[in-house]
A and B are shown apart, each in its own frame.
Chain A
Amino acid sequence: MAPESSVVEVTLESDLKNVEVAEEISRKVAGTAGFDEEEQHRIEMAVHESMINAIWHGNKNDSSKSVWLRFQIHRDRLEIRIRDQGNGFDPKRIPDPLADENLLNVSGRGIFLIRSFMDEFRVEHITGKGTEVTLVKRLSSETQPKQGGSDREHESHNSTD
């Protein structure tokens, strides 16, 4: 019996140079999941913004910390979890970047872009571990693999490059 989903896990050193590594993985996974090029770019951007938040705000640019990513392809969606070792944040406290008074703000658009590009966005603080964001992008019925289609085995990597 084929597995219900396939998983890619990676742990990266908390360094901005690894943002592009996470982008590349997300683009490949999104392509494997069946998303078209435009959707792959949006998913890649959501991962980019999440990585920046994790490294810059969560881990305070401390390269001794790490960022854990987990990509899980389900039959109907791609679920991405990104966890830093920070103290978390409340997304409700981030000002609306589309409000007239905020339109010319230099910062504050990252979470908004993630929400715009993904179907679901959740933030959870896990005691003793850090802050985990979950991003979900649903596959349209046309792009979902047919019943009995191939699924890939669980992969796990650890990298401190």
Chain B
Amino acid sequence: MSMKATTRQIDSVTVVDVSGRITLGEGCTQLRELIRDQLSKGNKWVLLNLADVTYIDSSGIGELVSAFTGVAKQGGALKLLNLTKKVHDLLQITKLYTVFEVHDDEARAVGSFEKASSA
């Protein structure tokens, strides 16, 4: 199953619901283009909902890092929502759990952006 992503806007926060595989090739390319597209529209508060991500590889992790730094360079923030155990374990192993802000409640995650964007 390849990657699929749909976006929703909640106030100033763009929620991206991602499903499938974020792996080298199509999955990574799609995610990169989606983030670029959102930034070009001025959407710099991004919440990636990874609840339905079935597989992520080292390239996919790299793509998350790239998205994180790309959004930060625009003065925004990218946070993660609903990690599966597999993705959670990968972020722990790679020490990236200390880099990303991770949430398991969408409303609270969205609220955390509002505080940051209005600060």
Contact = CB atoms under 8 A, between A and B. Distances in A.
Do A and B actually bind? Answer: yes
A103 interface: yes
B107 interface: no
**Chain B contact residues (Cβ within 8 angstroms of A): what range?**
20 to 34
Interface in A40-67: 41, 45, 48-49, 52, 56
Given A49-B58, A109-B94, A110-B58, A104 B65 contact: yes
A97 B99 CA distance: 13
A56 B24 contact: yes
A38 to B, nearest CB: 9
A45 B93 contact: no
A113 B62 contact: no
A102 to B, nearest CB: 10
Contacts, number: 49
Q: Is the interface of A mostly helix, strand, loop or mixed?
A: helix
Interface residues of A, number: 20
A97 B24 contact: no
A105 interface: yes
Interface string B72-106: 00000000000000100010011110010000000
Interface in B21-46: 23-25
14 contacts: A19-B24, A41-B86, A45-B57, A48-B23, A49-B58, A52-B57, A98-B95, A103-B95, A103-B96, A106-B62, A107-B59, A109-B94, A110-B59, A113-B93
